[in-house]
Amino acid sequence: MLMDFKTSELIKKYWEADTSLQEEEQLKRELLSATNETDWEEEKALFAHFKQAKEAELDDSFDQALLAEIDSRETAGTRQVQWTDYFKQYYKIAAAVVVLLVSGMLYQQQQKEVVVEDTFDNPEVAYAELKKQLLIVSRYLNKGQQTVSELNNLSKVPSELKDFAKMSEASEGLEMLSEMNVEN
């Protein structure tokens, strides 16, 4: 019972990474020599795995298989790298850099060309010119408004066509009345 309590405390410290090397060794010995199969199964399996992995070694067949693989790749032929293959991957990057540099230079040149100048020295003349330009804009807007009203009139056409259809129905009714108005 005391051994179980001490082992559970060591396991708790182990999972919190607070054990010393001596405590870890003591925990490994206790878990591997414990007779209770149900207690601490995961920890037992973990320490058994560590022990097995530590003892694992490669045999001569591994070395032979590795050397055979290396020989088969060497005899398969070597690939010659050409300069075009080497630089092919860099063509796209170089083209993108050139495009960026040219567009940057064009943008910079365009910024230098834009210079804001005051075109009027006299404020009265500037006001008169502004008034003239606003009148021109007003005329264009009025023409546009007139066009929109004409389009609205076109939307009324279907209702007027219905009125014509009613007139044809009325004429049929008049024909029936004229037939009834036969003189006796």
pLDDT at 98: 93
In this prediction the pTM is: 0.31
> What is the mean predicted confidence (pLDDT) over 89-115?
85
Q: For 34-82, where are the alpha helices, taking DSSP H only?
A: 41-55, 60-75
Q: 58: alpha, beta or left, given left = phi > 0 and alpha = psi -120 to 50?
A: beta
pLDDT at 184: 43
Q: Which residues have a Cβ under 8 Å from the Cβ of 4 and sit 6 or more positions away?
A: 39
Q: Give the range among 35-44, 73-82, 102-111, 140-149 with minimum mean pLDDT.
A: 73-82
pLDDT tens-digit profile of 90-100? 888 888 999 99
Share of the chain above pLDDT 90, in %: 8
- CA distances to 100, 140, 155, 157, 159 from 162, in Å: 64, 35, 13, 9, 5
Between 114 and 136, the higher pLDDT residue: 136
Q: Give the range among 101-110, 120-129, 131-140, 170-179 with minimum mean pLDDT.
A: 170-179
Q: Quote the tokens at residue 166.
A: 């009613």
| Residue 19: CB atoms within 10 Å | 17
Q: Answer yes or no: are the C-beta atoms of 32 and 45 closer than 8 Å.
A: no
> What is the mean predicted confidence (pLDDT) over 163-181?
66
